Amino acid sequence: MDGPALEFRASYEEQYGFREPERYVFKARPGLSAQVVDEISEMKGEPSWMRQFRRKALDTFMAKPMPTWGNTELLQGIRFDDIYYYIKPVERQGRTWDDVPAEIKRTFDRLGIPEAERTILAGVSAQYESEVVYHSIREDLQKRGVIFTDMDSGLREHPDLVKRFFASVVPPTDNKFAALNSAVWSGGSFIYVPPGQRVEVPLQAYFRINAERMGQFERTLIIADEGSKVHYIEGCTAPIWSTDSLHSAVVELIALKGAHIRYTTIQNWANNVYNLVTKRAVAHEDAIVEWVDGNLGSKLTMKYPAIYLVGRGARGEILSCAYAGKGQHQDAGGKVFHAAPRTTSTITSKSVSRGGGRASYRGLVKIHKGAIGSKVNVRCDALLLDERSRSDTYPTMEVDEQDATIGHEATVSKIGEEQLFYLMSRGLTEQDAMALIVNGFFEAFVKELPLEYAVELNRLIQLEMEGSVG
């Protein structure tokens, strides 16, 4: 039984928006060029196939036009020439927190990462700017053959696995930002879980941007071998700068026969970060993939976690939650492709808009011919906290198989004067009452999180309600 954190009164600025001085080993010139791409590859000492992959992806990025859908106005605001595409904060990765420079360690201390590592996690990866500066995995998992490392080490230490699966789910040609990531990627996580190994305690990665006009392009690849299970959690924050930063990740999940991957995101970027991410999973026979995706921060998020159900009986679940405050547009949702018989999926989207913020649900469900007996259920709920805010839905369904069951339901509601009065008549301030209502609205999402994260999320919502009422 845990009440809303009524005593919580810090602002994003104090809690997450702090900055540390830059004492970096290397900072590339701003702007994107073949030279910058080569420099990155060079510094990382990559095999030539990767360097070529990057160069080709750069060409793709340059050739592709900006998206002509979504919030094109905000997208036009990205200054590609002003962004730093690669910053190397430290010479080498730490194995203990003492190996990490003081100002960087201080950052992660304030974010509570070492604490979480001691108490509730099986492994931690902490990325600062372009590189993972600290990494750990519980010894027993290592003994069981579980690989959890940063993507760069993954490429060095497990070249065969990486070569086989890297970009197999999200090719650079998929979209402009996937191409960009492919050209300049750095950091991210590489996970391999051997057959039958079930990792019950979550692994976590935390992504931190500190520098102004930073571009962070981590790349994550998770392979769950037959009958295995893993839960991966990612979080992220950044200082508040007056200029914009860009975060553009690519995440690929491969769940082999009977495997189970759950991928949880709590995105809390500062409101000057563009968050344009491509996340996609492949689920083989009887495999389960779950995207639990929470978007609270950023200026513009465009993210639609996708699942390809390619094996008989595979199951996919997408739970997308968004909070759009002043000056924010959360364009989120999910995509599911049913390409095998008896596959099932659900997409649940919950969004809250306030202070002129905008939340969009964009979804695609495709049932391929031959995916007989497949089932899909889509549900979108939007809550508007005031008249100025906006919510819209763009659902697409493509059904090429008659023998399939499809459900779709959408609701939009406004926070009611009666609800507020009821809660306030019990002594709750207007902002606490709002926070309680919003927390209740997100309950379906919150209950999917480990307790500590649920508490944290409730606090974040409380924080978002600060100053929302006059």
**Position among 76, 139, 426, 470 found at the interface with another protein (CB under 8 A):** 426
Decide if residue 424 touches another protein (CB under 8 A): yes
Instruction: For residue 26, give the 3-state DSSP assignment.
Output: strand
Smallest distance from another protein to CB 423, Å: 7
Residue whose CB is less far from another protein, 127 or 458: 458
Rounded CA gap, 255 and 286, in Å? 9
Decide if residue 428 touches another protein (CB under 8 A): yes
Decide if residue 470 touches another protein (CB under 8 A): no
Decide if residue 469 touches another protein (CB under 8 A): no
Half-sphere exposure of 26 (CA within 13 A, CB side): 14
Smallest distance from another protein to CB 354, Å: 17
Size of the site for another protein (CB under 8 A): 29
Burial class (CB in 10 A: 0-12, 13-18, 19+), 405: exposed
**Position among 1, 68, 200, 402 found at the interface with another protein (CB under 8 A):** 1
**Position among 432, 448, 456, 464 found at the interface with another protein (CB under 8 A):** 432
Residue 13 CB neighbours (<10 A): 11
Ordered alpha helix ranges (H), 72-137: 72-75, 102-110, 113-119
Residue whose CB is less far from another protein, 71 or 468: 468
**Position among 122, 292, 437, 449 found at the interface with another protein (CB under 8 A):** 437
Decide if residue 460 touches another protein (CB under 8 A): no
Stretch that binds another protein, among 31-39, 151-159, 395-403, 441-449 (CB under 8 A): 441-449
Decide if residue 467 touches another protein (CB under 8 A): no
Stretch that binds another protein, among 218-226, 241-249, 388-396, 437-445 (CB under 8 A): 437-445
Decide if residue 468 touches another protein (CB under 8 A): no
Decide if residue 454 touches another protein (CB under 8 A): no
Tell me the CA distances in angstroms from 175 to 6, 250, 255, 276, 299, one per residue in order.
43, 11, 23, 11, 20
Decide if residue 433 touches another protein (CB under 8 A): yes
Question: For the chain, what's the residue count?
Answer: 470
Backbone angles phi, psi at 155, to 5 degrees: -65, -40
Smallest distance from another protein to CB 249, Å: 30
Residue whose CB is less far from another protein, 151 or 428: 428
Tell me the CA distances in angstroms from 303 to 179, 233, 245, 322, one per residue in order.
15, 16, 17, 11
**Position among 59, 398, 409, 443 found at the interface with another protein (CB under 8 A):** 443
Are the C-beta atoms of residues 430 and 399 closer than 8 Å to each other?
no
Smallest distance from another protein to CB 459, Å: 14
Half-sphere exposure of 274 (CA within 13 A, CB side): 22
Decide if residue 384 touches another protein (CB under 8 A): no
Are the C-beta atoms of residues 225 and 260 closer than 8 Å to each other?
no
**Position among 211, 436, 454, 457 found at the interface with another protein (CB under 8 A):** 436
C-alpha of 302 from chain center: 10
Decide if residue 441 touches another protein (CB under 8 A): yes
C-alpha of 375 from chain center: 26
Residue whose CB is less far from another protein, 296 or 306: 296
88, 251, 284: which is closest to 181 by C-alpha? Answer: 251
Residue whose CB is less far from another protein, 359 or 404: 359
175, 25, 22: which is closest to 92 by C-alpha? Answer: 25
Stretch that binds another protein, among 2-10, 65-73, 154-162, 289-297 (CB under 8 A): 2-10
Residues numbered 4-33 forming contacts with another protein, rule: CB under 8 A: 4, 6
Stretch that binds another protein, among 28-36, 83-91, 148-156, 433-441 (CB under 8 A): 433-441
Tell me the CA distances in angstroms from 172 to 60, 75, 175, 428, 457, one per residue in order.
7, 19, 7, 51, 33
Residue whose CB is less far from another protein, 39 or 452: 452
Stretch that binds another protein, among 86-94, 279-287, 324-332, 425-433 (CB under 8 A): 425-433
Stretch that binds another protein, among 109-117, 210-218, 404-412, 424-432 (CB under 8 A): 424-432
Decide if residue 417 touches another protein (CB under 8 A): yes
Residue whose CB is less far from another protein, 168 or 413: 413
For the record, the structure tokens of 116 come out as 């979480």
Count each helix (H run) and each strand (E run) in the chain, helices first: 14, 24
Q: Residue 421: which residues within 8 A CB-CB, separation 6 or more?
A: none
Are the C-beta atoms of residues 123 and 203 closer than 8 Å to each other?
yes
Name residue 400's amino acid.
Answer: D
For the record, the structure tokens of 11 come out as 């602002």
Binding footprint of another protein on the chain (CB under 8 A): 1-4, 6, 416-419, 421-430, 432-433, 436-437, 439-444
